[in-house]
Amino acid sequence: MPFEFERGEIDNVLLIKPKVFFDERGFFLETYKKSLFAEAGVKEDFNQDNFSFSKKGVLRGLHLQRKPKSQSKLVRCVKGEILDVIADVRANSNTYGEWLSFKLNDVNQHILYVPEGFLHGFVVLSDSAIVHYKASNEYCVNCEDGVVWSDKTLNIDWQTKDPIVSKKDKLLKNFIDFEAYR
């Protein structure tokens, strides 16, 4: 099997560990196989791919896209290392307001499945990082929402001091003012 699917501590979250084939030329791995992902519970069709380059200390997030264009994501760090963070904001979830973090990098090649109804963000731990992710819906400016990365209620340990954050992300609301995802 080219993938190991590890269940997260929050329902529906998966850490996907692809099998990496090394030889004298380098390595090869599959990063997505619809049939195997569906067997593991990832049944969405992915409609948009995103690619970012960021410098050390850059923090992007915490973002969410609401219905009718809500998004599930498959996130992978192609180069460098990031701390990827998700927070459960699904209404009536028994883990509402809880967050998890995962180190994704070009050595472990792990892929994080982020279901709909989760805030998502990451911070770059290496000198730079290239992140690629698949999204189940196209970007919709009228559907975007989020919570400021430094929110005191969530109290996320970003494992960095003084991150570089966009003006837009600095203006996101606090968790206490955020409407649960329905």
Sequence ranges of the binding site: 25, 30, 48-50, 60, 73, 120, 144, 167
Q: Bin 153: left if φ > 0, else alpha if -120 < ψ < 50, else beta.
A: alpha
**Whole-angstrom Cα distance, residue 84 to residue 131?**
10
Q: Catalytic residue among 110, 113, 133, 181, which?
A: 133
Which is it for strands 58-65 and 164-165: parallel, antiparallel or unpaired? Answer: parallel
Q: 133 catalytic, yes or no?
A: yes
Active-site option among 32, 63, 132, 181: 63
Q: What residue has token string 């990832």? A: 42
Q: Which residues contact 152 (CB under 8 A, 6 or more apart)?
A: 174
Binding-site positions for substrate: 25, 30, 48-50, 60, 73, 120, 144, 167
Active site residue 110: no
Which residues are marked as active site? 63, 133
